[in-house]
Amino acid sequence: MAQAFALLPGISRSGMTISVGRSLGLSPDASVRFAFLLAVPAITGAGCYELLKMIQAGGEVGFGLLPAVVAFVAALGSSWLALVVLIRIVRRAGLWVFSPYCFAVGACALAYFAWT
């Protein structure tokens, strides 16, 4: 249910899951790890869906295997590094450091949609 609140402007899916995990008594590390483990099925599903679309289109993607592997490794490495940094921030400062960003993005999104 916590992830459903991420449909609101400025609310992060992972941030909401982490917040609810913390309010239910999980440690900061466990909350962050759980929130990002929840993304694995969605990411895997999206990847499988895109692969299926590519296969149905005849496999023509416009790039070779080597660039795809390099991109995958770069994305994997940068994601891992971002999670390490996020866990350190949550351990040291908590989640409150992200709240100004969430409020600002939410306010901007609400203003944008109110005037368009």
Query: What is the number of alpha carbons within 13 Å of residue 34 lying toward its C-beta?
Result: 18
Q: How many residues does the chain have?
A: 116
Q: How many angstroms separate the CA atoms of 57 and 54, rounded?
A: 5
pLDDT confidence tier of residue 74, bands split at 50, 70 and 90: very high
Tell me the range of 27-31, 66-70, 112-116 where mean pLDDT is highest. Answer: 112-116
Work out how many domains the chain is built from and give that number. 1
This prediction's pTM: 0.62
Mean per-residue pLDDT of the chain: 83
**Mean pLDDT confidence for 43-69:** 76
The whole domain housing 51 covers 2-115
- Asked if pLDDT for residue 63 goes beyond 70, the answer is no
**What percent of the chain stands above pLDDT 90?**
10
Look-up: residue for tokens 């992200």?
Answer: 98
Residue among 11, 18, 2, 24 nearest 91 (CA): 18
